[in-house]
Amino acid sequence: MDLRTKYLGLELKHPVVASSSPLSSDVDGIKRMEDGGAAAIVLFSLFEEQIRQENAMFEHVLEQGTERFAESLNYFPEVEDYAVGPERYIELLRKGVESTEIPIIASLNGVTSEGWIDYAKEMQQAGASAIELNVYHIPADLTESGRAVEERYLSVLRAVRSAVTIPVAMKLSPFFSSIGDMCKQFDDAGVDGLVLFNRFYQPDFDLDNLEVVNTLELSQTSEIRLPLLWIAILHGKLNCSLAATRGVHSRDEAIKYIMAGADAVMTTSAMLKHGPGFVKTLVDDMRSWMERREYSSVEQMKGSMSQQSVADPSAFERANYIKILESFKNPYTPM
């Protein structure tokens, strides 16, 4: 059974990658994920706020525009809450690379290209196999146009892509008006991979204390539907790699993503629930499933259920909408 795959030009022993999480906050955690079976590890993110804190403009930048939508700043943690600063991040990256034999992918999280270039270079020098850009932008300013939001993402990619020679991936949200066109723009701009989709951590209301609260909820298996749809549509139409993230809690979700066309499948929530050794269980279960159905490799399976491969491509488009509604059986309708 050949489980190998290629993601961002990197040869992986199998498609399951540990995505960015607190598990990679120290070298011991990184080694535990390698021992647990991860084919590659995306390090937890270095935040733009941490980079900005190092220069004298930091306070000025934070204050700009707050008189218009200051409440939006409350959705983010205080900079002081981040446990690891930029220099310590680079040192952890360096030690993680030296201590493991699998690819370590660095992660940058922010909303502008300012300050990212130097640290992207340092990440490359520290031995990162690739860089994942996680542009976390909530357009709370109602005067910001959709095109301006798109350009914000593209400018970050261009800045980092021009600064390093290692592969660069972009972790996307699904909230663009035309996600297919946006993916094509990233592909044309030279991105090496797209990770679909980011989970925005949205605020909730505490009705007892009448406060806005931020609580982290782990992913559910039902969340695979949206990235599954778009990976299946994009497979074979772009030059870059495709990675799936969200809702991977068993071999079923991993196999579905690969059949849709994913080159890599990322998981975090399941590892947080079951420990890093979950990856080995997932890969073993995936191998057993493939053997029973006489697949010889991941490559043979990859994209076999994508839009360009299935007998009825309309299943991914509006034509299937009515079919789904008609298929629902109302349990309260008399026979």
Residue 185 lies in a domain: yes
Stretch 165-174: mean pLDDT, rounded? 95
Span 216-228, pLDDT tens digits: 677 788 889 999 9
- 271 class by beta-carbon count within 10 Å (0-12 exposed, 13-18 middle, 19+ buried): buried
Report residue 100's pLDDT band, with 50, 70 and 90 as the boundaries. very high
User: The tokens of 123 are what?
Assistant: 């990440």
Alpha carbon distance 16, 209 (integer Å): 42
Residue 160 lies in a domain: yes
Span 270-281, pLDDT tens digits: 999 999 999 999
CA distances from 261 to 73, 92, 167, 267, 301 (A): 37, 33, 20, 17, 9
Report the pLDDT value the prediction gives residue 83, as an integer from 0 to 100: 47
- The domain total for the chain is 1
Q: For residue 70, is pLDDT > 50?
A: no
What pTM was estimated for this model as a whole? 0.84
Amino acid at 189: A
Report the CATH number that the domain containing residue 233 is assigned in CATH.
3.20.20.70
Residue 259 lies in a domain: yes
Report helix angle 116-125 to 86-99, nearest 10. 20
The β-bridge partners of 41 are 18, 104
50 compared with 47, residue with greater pLDDT: 47
Percent of the chain with pLDDT over 70: 81
Residue 211 lies in a domain: yes
Alpha carbon distance 108, 69 (integer Å): 25
Residue 104 lies in a domain: yes
Domain, as residue range, for 238: 5-327
Stretch 202-229: mean pLDDT, rounded? 85
Residue 135 lies in a domain: yes
Q: For residue 140, is pLDDT > 90?
A: no
Report the pLDDT value the prediction gives residue 57, as an integer from 0 to 100: 44
Q: For residue 72, is pLDDT > 80?
A: no
Residue 332 lies in a domain: no
